[in-house]
Amino acid sequence: MARIIGGVACSHTPTIGFAHDKHGSDDPVWGPIIQAFAPVKAWLKEQRPDVAIIVYNDHVTSFFFDHYSAFALGIGERFEVADEGGGPRDLPGAAGHPALAAHIGASLVADEFDMSFFQDRSLDHGCFSPLSVLCDHADGWPFPIVPLQVGVLQTPGPSARRCWKLGQALRRAVESYPDDLRVAIIATGGLSHQVHGERSGFNNTEWDAQFLDLIVNDPVRLTEMTVAELATRGGYESAEVVMWLVMRGALSANVTPRHQAYYLPSMTGIATLVFENHATPPSAAEARLHLDHVERETRGLEALEGTYPFTLQRSVKAYRINKFLHTLVDPQARESFRADEAVAMRGAGLSDTERDMLLRRDWRALMHYGVIFFLLEKLAAVSGLSNLHVYAAMRGQTLGEFQKTRNAPGAVYSVSGREDAVAGKVPRT
């Protein structure tokens, strides 16, 4: 079974990346930042985690307010470095761990956390600013990551208590994963700072010291604090320290601090902490009980004949082709597809297998591959076909044969907004 080997807590201000990229550990002003991270880097190198769960918040880079979630879990195969306005930092992208992420996602949902899931979104300084000084990366990062984005920028957002409970649920998820993985949890953000308004530049070193003591010795006390209290004591943006409670909640009650440092160079109190975990692993029976709990809602779906639930695993596997078909909601993309399907598909980087299924309109094969039906109906509409053509093809029937099984046997319809878009054509497969 997987186990959590320990936790890391650290600030994620872009100042950290600036110190790494422009200065060295000998610089009198910026060097202490690098020095504070050095023991954490050494601990990670010594412990050799197989994967790291990184709890961070995006800074309106890859997540915008058209859809802003409390908790969003990265389930993709790879995460690139975000461009935050002046070009991305010269860092390699990070590999994901889709299998562990899917298990964590299912476990958190079973524990009544209404998660969002993301792929194909780059990660900004909330993740890569600290990661760049935590690990050597000239030849790539030493472990894959599972990013967990916490929506702390817009209120109402997750409370300290909710983040603590998420950490406890995260522990249950990791410890019930069947593979033998060494998992580190890295929480980022804080400490005291405010970057907007007339209070910009606010710091409170006394509160920072108290917070560091509480996160080690009495984290439950922190869960009783409101976001307003945290903002009052540490500055508005510093309330992001609720993310540290995700990490702390995932650890045992008693932990051994292996390192602690604090430095205030400019706008943000920069802190680093390392916790060694002392959790007792669950018994095989306890792990099985939790897996039964995770699988309860979906158990039996696999036995439904001719039914293909759109799981997180299918979402990752077929992401590229689903993303391509989703572009068909854009009029310009539709016209490009109609003008030359082969060119459009090659431009999207689709595999030979994916292109072949689409060119033949092999609805059944596309469904088995992992394309969700609601994108197949968009492809049908662009192709001048009705939904009923697709339904019939999935059942291995002609349109006429399928229509005879309906109470409205002459009906032909699609999701197209134009009445003349469905020409009653026969599907290719």
- Please, where are the H alpha helices in 183-236? 205-217, 219-223, 227-234
pLDDT (tens place) for every residue of the chain, 429 residues total: 999 999 999 999 999 998 888 877 788 888 999 999 999 999 999 999 999 999 999 999 999 999 999 999 999 999 999 999 999 999 999 999 999 999 999 999 999 999 999 999 999 999 999 999 999 999 999 999 999 999 999 999 999 999 999 999 999 999 999 999 999 999 999 999 999 999 999 999 999 999 999 999 999 999 999 999 999 999 999 999 999 999 999 999 989 999 999 999 999 999 999 999 999 999 999 999 999 999 999 999 999 999 999 999 999 999 999 999 999 999 999 999 999 999 999 999 999 999 999 999 999 999 999 999 999 999 999 999 999 999 999 999 999 999 999 999 888 999 988 755 554 444 455
Query: DSSP characters for 73-94?
Result: EE-SSEEPBP--SS---S---E
Asked if residues 237 and 195 have their Cβ atoms less than 8 Å apart, the reply is yes
| Residue 239 φ/ψ, nearest 5 degrees | -65, -10
pLDDT, residue 419, reads 52
pLDDT for res 424:
46
Output the pLDDT for position 416: 86
Query: Would you mind telling me the total number of residues written for the chain in this entry?
Result: 429
DSSP characters over 5-68: EEEEEE---HHHHHHHHH--TT-TTTHHHHHHHHHHHHHHHHH--SEEEEEE---SSS--TTS-
Distance CA 7, CA 245 (A): 11
> How many Cα neighbours within 13 Å face the side chain of 220?
3
The CATH class of the 318-421 domain is: mainly alpha
Alpha helices in 111-177 (DSSP H): 125-134, 160-175
Give ∠ CA 392-396-397 in degrees, rounded to 5.
Answer: 50
Q: Delimit the domains of the chain by residue range.
A: 3-285, 318-421
Catalytic residue annotation: 125, 193
Say how far apart CA 279 and CA 284 lie, in whole Å: 15
Amino acid at 356: D
Residue 20's pLDDT is 87
CATH of 3-285, one of 3.40.50.720, 3.40.830.10, 3.30.70.120, 3.10.450.50: 3.40.830.10
Counting beta carbons within 10 angstroms of the beta carbon of residue 266, is it exposed (0 to 12), middle (13 to 18) or buried (19 or more)?
middle
